[in-house]
Amino acid sequence: MVAAWGDLIVDGRSRALDHALLGLVPDGPGQATFELTRPLARFDGKLFGGTAIAVAVALAEVETARPSLWTTVQFIAGDTTLGDRFRCTTEVLAEGRSAAQVRVTAHVDGREVFCALGATAHRKPERVEATFERFPSVPAPETAAPFQLPIPAALRAEASKALRNIEMRSAPPLEGSPAPATHLTLWARVPGHPATPAVMAYLADMVPLSIARAARRAGGGTSIDNTMRFSGAEADEWILLELDPHLASGGYGHGGVLVWSPSGELLATGGQTASLLLFD
Amino acid sequence: MVAAWGDLIVDGRSRALDHALLGLVPDGPGQATFELTRPLARFDGKLFGGTAIAVAVALAEVETARPSLWTTVQFIAGDTTLGDRFRCTTEVLAEGRSAAQVRVTAHVDGREVFCALGATAHRKPERVEATFERFPSVPAPETAAPFQLPIPAALRAEASKALRNIEMRSAPPLEGSPAPATHLTLWARVPGHPATPAVMAYLADMVPLSIARAARRAGGGTSIDNTMRFSGAEADEWILLELDPHLASGGYGHGGVLVWSPSGELLATGGQTASLLLFD
């Protein structure tokens, strides 16, 4: 449905800023490209996992003209670098009245580097609307202190060159907050960008950090996959990431994330598996 | 790695019962088939979601000779029926020393009906081993009462013909259990089968039920995807499913699951999105 690329409107909401953030360029039916620039890369210049899932969400939405419901991205090759051009193919595998099934594959120089599965869906009116999780009480984003990613000494020189467009603030739970102590709560935004599904996916790629923190170790990890599930609601800018580390075992870790609006609406939930890199 | 099909041993553990349960038949390099029989189908004769993810886990393991780390399966076509033969292709997309990346696609009569992404991995020794979730206190499986799926009147005649190999028992939390009241805890097993990753995936396809229960409605839903993440540990037979419904919105629902051994070891975690079918 390449026509949708003209205006980048999905169920009445503009996705133009998503496409600008990710540098997505249409390249024929079901085809698009983006270049791995500094803001879309990790400190070491490789593809940032949040970029890949955001690209998959944005392409699935624009090719089906429906908002994202769920997306999982699999990281196949880790040896991408700044300046690489990613060629993305979006296949619409099935289309019903409400939901569509999509697969997005991305290649660099003919090698497949990530693959994503997902569904998009027009939400139905007059259905059960309910949230079964509890909003953590935390300081408001406007008054919260900046959050600095813990960076190992060996990467600090590289990190100082990074040019990221993500802002994070500490959101330690207030007295009486319902979340367990292992959960890590952080405010996040791309300044000036509404928290669409693509932007939420871009920001939420933080599970390995929460696993390292819960294990009382410095470090993080390399994502093996990244999964996001969306409620259909969006936020103006700030979102609260409530990271829920599950376990660490044999060099790998699993965890989840709840994504909240500042007013306490559950916008998305997710999960991730990572190869852990724990120091000290 | 078709050689592994000879003995069906993965990291020293037999997968022969997994393949017997699923009726998997090798059919050339990277190819396998299974037939949709009564025990592998839903009440209405369509493919049971747990069957699809179990097949994907089992094929990824045997093709890479490594135990499953994570798998997501996407349901593309829902119009399968008893007697259909599913032709599965397993692509090994990347292989490192520890982890391998895999994609499994299944076709019936040339139509793609499900697609799965996943990783398998030899676990590494002397790494951080930690669980950040709390085991719910529930009655032991041996003393627990049978659990009956809530079945709408229109499906009861069909359900009575079902020939499933899954046994479930109620596991209501005991006084002081740490889990929130929205969580649904159930013992599950395939009698006589160890709880391998494939069997855990087969049993854990229950998130829609927990969403309906939390919303205080009868019903369930149709899975859109099913994601499982494994610790590397397995259980003899019984596992405890701790279902964690996240939200219901616009006709869709999301939720998670924690899979525990009877002794309180966290074996796996998962997530699922479903199209909800809520009655009354």
Cβ pair A247:B132 closer than 8 A = yes
User: Considering only alpha carbons, which residue of chain B is nearest residue A245?
Assistant: B132
Pick the residue of B80, B113, B127, B247 with the most A CBs within 10 A to test the interface with A by mutation.
B247
- pLDDT over 80 (residue A162): no
CB contact under 8 A, B250 and A271: no
Residue B119: predicted pLDDT: 98
Tokens at A236, concatenated = 């103006």
A231 CA to chain B: closest CA distance, Å?
6
Instruction: List the one residue out of B101, B107, B33 whose CA is nearest residue B63.
Output: B101
B81 touches chain A (CB under 8 A): no
What confidence category does residue A177 fall into, taking pLDDT thresholds of 50, 70 and 90?
A: confident
CB of B117 within 8 Å of a chain A CB? The answer is yes
Q: How far is CA A139 from CA A145, A173, A216, B93, in A?
A: 9, 8, 24, 44
Mean pLDDT, residues A222-226: 96
Q: Which amino acid is at B122?
A: H
**Whole-number pLDDT of residue A278:** 84
Q: What is the mean pLDDT of residues A123-142?
A: 95
Q: Is B250 on the interface with A (CB under 8 A)?
A: yes
B119 interfacial to chain A (CB closer than 8 Å) = yes
Distance from CA of A16 to the nearest CA of B (A): 24
B65: three-class secondary structure by DSSP: coil
Q: Residue B278: what pLDDT?
A: 84
Q: Which amino acid is at A69?
A: L
Let me know: does A268 contact A229? Beta carbons within 8 Å.
yes
pLDDT by residue for chain B (280 residues), tens only, comes to: 444 467 899 999 999 999 999 999 999 999 999 999 999 998 889 999 999 999 999 999 999 999 999 999 999 988 899 999 999 999 999 999 999 999 999 999 999 999 999 999 999 999 999 999 999 999 999 999 999 877 767 767 666 656 679 999 999 999 888 888 999 999 999 999 999 999 999 999 999 999 999 999 988 899 999 999 999 999 999 999 999 999 999 999 999 999 999 999 999 999 999 999 987 6
pTM: 0.96
B124 to chain A, closest Cα gap in Å: 4
Task: Give the pLDDT score at B3.
Answer: 46
Average pLDDT of chain A?
Answer: 93
Distance CA(A21)–CA(A57), nearest Å, equals 13
91-110 of A, contacting B, C-beta below 8 A: 93-94, 98-99, 101, 103
Are the Cβ atoms of A254 and B231 closer than 8 angstroms? yes
- Nearest-CA residue of chain A relative to B132? A246
* Residue B5 DSSP code: G
Judge whether residue A3 has pLDDT over 60: no
Residue of B nearest to A258 (CA): B246
Handedness of CA B191, B165, B174, B205 (dihedral sign): positive
Query: Cα(B207)–Cα(B223) distance, rounded to whole angstroms?
Result: 9
DSSP at A145 = P
Residue A280's pLDDT band (boundaries 50, 70, 90)? low
Residue B161 is predicted with a pLDDT of 59
**Bridge partners, residue B118, by sequence:** B71, B102
Q: Which DSSP helix (H) or strand (E) runs through B52?
A: helix B49-64
Hey, which residues 2-61 in chain A have their CB within 8 Å of chain B? none
- pLDDT of A46 > 60? The answer is yes
Sign of the dihedral through C-alpha B191, B194, B198, B204: positive
Which chain B residue is nearest to residue A244, measuring alpha carbons? B132
Please state the rounded mean pLDDT for residues A32-38.
Answer: 97
| Residue A1 reports pLDDT greater than 70 | no
ipTM of the complex: 0.95
A251–B contact, CB cutoff 8 A: yes
Residue of A nearest to B267 (CA): A247
Q: Which amino acid is at A264?
A: G
B224 to A251: CB separation less than 8 angstroms, yes or no: no
User: For B231, which of A103, A130, A249 is closest by C-beta distance?
Assistant: A249
Q: Which residue of A has its CA nearest to B184?
A: A132
Please check whether residue B233 touches A, CB under 8 A: yes
- Look at strands A85-95 and A31-35 and give their pairing: antiparallel
